[in-house]
Structure 1
């Protein structure tokens, strides 16, 4: 399974309804399961991003479907990063010439 980090910023709608943010997070956890995606962590953050999610997904298509559904709700704008563990990176480095 691949790891994905999703950086989120509230939209105007999302910040107007900030009191529901933890309820929305629980709904995302349930939605993720429908795509075979595991929600590892959800953090509310200070700084350039409002929320950071960490997911584990079987493939890019499953993750893309989840993120498209999250975005379609209109509460956040997302930036998705594919992450590699140290073991993954060692495997990549082993393939270098």
Structure 2
């Protein structure tokens, strides 16, 4: 599984129904499974992003399809970052001259 960090911001629609945000997150977690994505952690944050998620997916297309499924609901805008754990980073560094 590939690890990603999801950075989310509420849209106007999402902020208008903010009281449902935890319910929407739980529903998104279930939808994610249909795309082969595991939402490992969901955090509501203060600062540049309203939410941060740790996700695992089999490939980029699975994550992209899930992100689009979330986007069409109109409550959040998402950005995804590929994340590497220490052993994955060691493999990358091993390729350096």
Query: d(CA) in 1 for partners of 2:71 and 2:27?
Result: 13
1:35-82 residue CA offsets vs partner (Å, 9 max, x unmatched): 111111000000010000110000000000011111111001111101
Structure 1 residues not aligned, in runs of 5+: none
C-alpha RMSD of the superposition: 0.6
1:95 is displaced (CA, Å) by 1.2
Report the number of matched residues.
97
Runs of 4+ residues deviating >4 angstroms? none
Counterpart mapping for 1:33-52 below 5 A: 33-52=33-52
- Which residue in 2 is equivalent to 1:88? 88
Structure 2 residues not aligned, in runs of 5+: none
- Which residue in 2 is equivalent to 1:74? 74
- Which residue in 2 is equivalent to 1:20? 20
